[in-house]
Amino acid sequence: MNSAALVPQPFVYDGDVYERNMRHATGNSLQVILKVTERCNIACKYCYFFFGGDESYRDNPAYIQDETIDQFAVFLEDAVRSYHLDLVRIIIHGGEPFMLRKARMARLLESVQRAAAGTALEFTVQTNAMLLDAEWIDLLARHRVYVGVSLDGPREFNDLNRVDKRERGTYDRSLQGVALLFEAFRAGRLARPGLLCVLNPDFPAERLYHHFVDEIGFRNIDFLLPDDTHDSSDPALRERYKVRMMELLRLYARETRKEVRFRFADKIVDALGMAPLFSRVLHRYFTQKEIVFTVSSKGDIAPDDILRTTDPALMRLDLNIATARLGDVLRSAAFNRLHDAAFTLPGACAGCDWASVCRGGELYHRYSRAQGFDNPSIYCDTLRAAHEHAATMFLQAGASVAHLERRMAAQPYTLI
């Protein structure tokens, strides 16, 4: 299998064309990471939001105000109508979202529901679960909110980095909230909560997996590689992250419970399974139809929050939901630049066997001040090993070598 002939072509995004296409298309989806609070009740040592370098949150209100909620509803209603949105996904984010007063959260959920009437609507909240109580569970159940919990592992690992402002561990308080979520799940009131865990190379994978899946009962799991860039990551740690991730992938490969889903692994398998034609043409088409951005507690619009660790200039669009419309976001310079980067394979990835599947990895892992996004992922070795592992599993599950060869030979990001 050889993709040495691939020559990355810079992609240039025309915002006006994109906006027009979106306006006349159907099946568009919108995902908004909505910062309902810009403060947290704890102080995780690795937190990108508070310690990632971008301190713009200091200028924002600690809590989203009623006026901003109303403006967001108007923005959303206009976006749904103007761009025929089929799906609106609101990720309720912070800081810690449950620091918001319940009455204001209820107002937010109700306003968004009214604004997105007639369209599929999904609410997700990402939380440390420490502030949950019975009233929160009632509110979440009433509005069918899916809850994702952030934890790092069992107490002895979690409490090394997930500490409160007095440097005390947070595991026990988080688990009280998790217990309420599982109680509501068993009563059929909420979906089973999901888990988000940032990998630490010092934590044994088997212990993490066993704790989350068997001892707590999570099924929908995401183990994330830290959101570093080429400027911030420690090269000495990369091999160790690879070892841990591969241990987790091997545990997942042995998993017999079908409900257990490990998103990092599933994403690779899905990409491998994609028909080559789809990967060349339709992938781009559908990716364009998924719009993702962040709204701060004062209504400022910025690209996906995870990119905060990259170029701070990218995060300033000078757009606010009080005055902007979705079309202004689609035409903005920062969105154009990000779209170009996402659809241009890093030069150093040319010739990689996995280029058409991996596409250089996550955008933020590609960033350096010197070369922007024109770098392979800082976790390139992990990605190569993970793709090799997934391909082996894929063949063992009955996929043909011919399919894999065609899939890997497909040109990434080709326009035809």
Pick 153 or 376: Cβ nearer ligand SF4: 376
- The residues in 232-271 that bind ligand SF4, with binding defined as CB under 6 A, are none
- The residues in 333-372 that bind ligand SF4, with binding defined as CB under 6 A, are 349, 352, 354-355, 358, 360-361
88 contacts: CB under 8 Å, gap ≥ 6: 29, 30, 31, 32, 76, 80, 112, 116, 119, 120, 121, 122
Cβ burial of 372 (10 Å; 0-12, 13-18, 19+) is: middle
Bridge-based pairing of strands 300-302 and 319-320 is antiparallel
Checking phi first, is residue 350 left (phi over 0); if not, alpha (psi -120 to 50) or beta? beta
Least Cβ distance, residue 388 to ligand SF4 (angstroms): 10
Nearest to 198, CA basis, from 164, 251, 148, 236: 148
52 binds ligand SF4, rule: CB under 6 A: no
Pick 3 or 68: Cβ nearer ligand SF4: 3
The Cα 299–Cα 279 span in angstroms is 35
Torsion 139-153-169-307 (CA) sign: negative
390 binds ligand SF4, rule: CB under 6 A: no
The full DSSP string for 98-149 is GGS-HHHHHHHHHHHHHHTTTSEEEEEEEE--TT--HHHHHHHHHTTEEEEE
CA atoms within 13 A on the CB side of 230: 16
Pick 92 or 352: Cβ nearer ligand SF4: 352
Least Cβ distance, residue 382 to ligand SF4 (angstroms): 9
Torsion 159-160-162-163 (CA) sign: positive
The Cα 211–Cα 154 span in angstroms is 6
The strands making up 319-320's β-sheet, listed across from edge to edge, are 261-262, 220-224, 194-198, 145-150, 120-127, 85-93, 28-35, 290-295, 300-302, 319-320
**59's tokens:** 């200028």
Pick 221 or 363: Cβ nearer ligand SF4: 363
CB 361 within 8 A of CB 31: no
Pick 186 or 267: Cβ nearer ligand SF4: 267
**380's tokens:** 């390139």
Window of 39-47, 217-225, 247-255, 377-385 that interacts with ligand SF4 by CB under 6 A? 377-385
Least Cβ distance, residue 308 to ligand SF4 (angstroms): 21
Pick 263 or 331: Cβ nearer ligand SF4: 263
Within the chain, how many helices (H) and strands (E) appear? 18, 10
Pick 89 or 242: Cβ nearer ligand SF4: 242
230 binds ligand SF4, rule: CB under 6 A: no
CB 342 within 8 A of CB 290: no
SS3 (DSSP) at 29: strand
Pick 271 or 321: Cβ nearer ligand SF4: 271
8 binds ligand SF4, rule: CB under 6 A: no
Count of residues interacting with ligand SF4 (CB under 6 A): 12
Pick 178 or 380: Cβ nearer ligand SF4: 380
Window of 124-132, 170-178, 373-381, 391-399 that interacts with ligand SF4 by CB under 6 A? 373-381
Window of 214-222, 316-324, 326-334, 378-386 that interacts with ligand SF4 by CB under 6 A? 378-386
- The residues in 82-121 that bind ligand SF4, with binding defined as CB under 6 A, are none
What is the number of other CB atoms lying within 10 angstroms of the CB of residue 101? 10
Among 219, 337, 384, 406, indicate the residue that binds ligand SF4 (CB under 6 A): 384
Least Cβ distance, residue 363 to ligand SF4 (angstroms): 11
Least Cβ distance, residue 18 to ligand SF4 (angstroms): 25
410 binds ligand SF4, rule: CB under 6 A: no
Among 376, 390, 408, 413, indicate the residue that binds ligand SF4 (CB under 6 A): 376
The Cα 350–Cα 359 span in angstroms is 10
Build a one-symbol-per-residue string for 296-335: x at contacts with ligand SF4 by CB under 6 A, - elsewhere: ----------------------------------------
Among 295, 377, 391, 413, indicate the residue that binds ligand SF4 (CB under 6 A): 377
Among 213, 380, 391, 408, indicate the residue that binds ligand SF4 (CB under 6 A): 380
The Cα 44–Cα 37 span in angstroms is 16
Least Cβ distance, residue 232 to ligand SF4 (angstroms): 17
Least Cβ distance, residue 386 to ligand SF4 (angstroms): 9
* Interface with ligand SF4 (CB under 6 A): 349, 352, 354-355, 358, 360-361, 376-377, 380, 383-384
